[in-house]
Amino acid sequence: MVNSCRLFDNRVRSFVGDKNINLCCGKDIRQGFVNIDKNPPADVIVDVDSQALPFEDNSFDCIICKFGIEHLRNPDRAIFEVSRVLKEGGHFIALTSYLPNFWFLLNKLVPFRLSRLLYKPETERFRAYYRLNTRKAVFRTCKKVGINCSEIKLIRSRRGVL
């Protein structure tokens, strides 16, 4: 079985530039990146669902998002902000669960409050909306905000990943 996280990290290494963003980072704090999330311990606290990224236009070489897109209520707004701060020729690399899969179905069938009880107390559980988790949704949003979507790769793994 393919390790999607390892493939993602290898892909990221090949596109990292001088200025990089780790969007919706959670606790995945990366050296050489401005780590952004709506909760600490991120370097910059921003809710990309409702707030602009506090950076100038065309200022970053690479923006990554590892298992964060599915938690956005308004992914079109977040992707617009990505396109605004990404330099021309820059790269946006995202790893997310692909629909349909077991986790999506579980999330849809089990109410969020109940699902929190199913996990160990120390395990963080954030609501997932799955609004940008199909090829069609990705292409639609990229076209809407003016991003040239050059590659969407479906990686078969235990979690079914886009």
The pLDDT value recorded for residue 36 is: 98
pLDDT tens column, 28-41: 999 999 999 999 99
Rounded CA separation 93/110 (Å): 30
Rounded CA separation 80/52 (Å): 9
Residue 153 in any domain: the answer is no
Residue 105 in any domain: the answer is no
We report the CATH number of the domain holding residue 72 as 3.40.50.150
More confident residue, 42 or 149: 42
pLDDT tens column, 69-91: 988 999 999 999 999 999 999 99
Collapsing DSSP to helix, strand or coil, 63 comes out as strand
Residue 107 in any domain: the answer is no
Full-model pTM: 0.84
Report residue 2's pLDDT band, with 50, 70 and 90 as the boundaries. Answer: low
Per the structure, the count of domains in the chain is: 1
The pLDDT value recorded for residue 162 is: 46
Alpha-carbon torsion (120, 106, 114, 67), positive or negative: positive
Q: Which residues span the domain enclosing 41?
A: 4-98+129-145
The pLDDT value recorded for residue 122 is: 47
H/E element, 143: helix 135-145
Residue 138 in any domain: the answer is yes
- Residue 112 to residues 115, 125, 127, Cα–Cα distance (Å): 5, 9, 7
Residue 121 in any domain: the answer is no
Residue 114 in any domain: the answer is no
Residue 120 in any domain: the answer is no
Residue 115 in any domain: the answer is no
Helix 75-85 vs helix 135-145: crossing angle, to nearest 10: 50
More confident residue, 73 or 157: 73
